[in-house]
Every structure is written in structure tokens, then in C-alpha cells.
Copies of this chain bind each other. A is one copy, B any other.
């Protein structure tokens, strides 16, 4: 069993809030992250696959394929976008880093299977001080 990780990056706007909360309640629960005018981040996304090395290629997976997959299914849909308003896989979810990691896992997992590999973990860093990892149920 070996693990391979590809990093991709995206810049996006978001806001942490609940529509059923008052502005004051949102401010209390989510602090400055609930700013109604949005704020944003340079996110880093680390996608880790696990599996056996293919003796024909020396690869667990061709990273170009993995990079293309992440670009097509995630980055093209979230980069330079508003996570709350425009990202299909985040609709009706709180735009937290935790939910981002889980949602990206759910998008990628079947595609990684199609590539003949297994998704091991998705890591999303929101800043140099904060990151979230999700490794499935």
C-alpha cells in the first residue's frame, strides 16, 4: 500500500452564515467570517490516493490524469468563484472548510474509482494556520 498526493489550488469567496439566523446571531456564531459582503481565501487542496504500484509503470496512478480530474471536477467549478452562490457541489451547505473537504471527497471518490484507484484523504487548507482533512466514513 502506497499513498500519492497531488496539490491543486483555488481562490474563492465565501461567507459563513445561516439564512434562519439574524445578522447578530450569525455574527455571534461565525464572527467576521459571516460578513454579508463576503471575504475569500487562497485555498490549497491535497488529494491523496492509496493503492499498489503498477509494475508496468512504477506508478500508483499517472499524476497527470489525477490532476486533470481534479481540475475538471473541482478547480474549474470553484476557482475564482463564490462558494455559496456558484459551486454546485456546495449548494445548500454551510461554506465551511469542513463541508468543503467532505463535498470534494464525495465528488472525487467515484471518479478515482473509475481510474482504478482508491481515494484516501482530502485535505483543504484555508490559511497557513487552519486546515481540515477528511478520509471518508
Contacts and interface: CB of A to CB of B under 8 A. Distances in A.
Nearest to A63: B130
A71 interface: no
Interface in A75-109: 79-82, 85-86, 93-99, 101-102
Nearest to A132: B4
A11 B37 contact: no
A27 to B, nearest CB: 11
Nearest to A127: B42
A14 to B, nearest CB: 8
B132 A3 contact: yes
B58 A38 contact: no
Contacts of A31: 64
Main secondary structure of the interface of A (DSSP, over half): mixed
Chain A contact-residue range equals 35 or more
Interface string A34-53: 01011111100000000001
A12 interface: yes
14 contacts: A2-B133, A3-B133, A4-B130, A4-B133, A5-B131, A11-B39, A12-B39, A13-B37, A37-B81, A37-B86, A39-B80, A53-B96, A58-B93, A58-B98
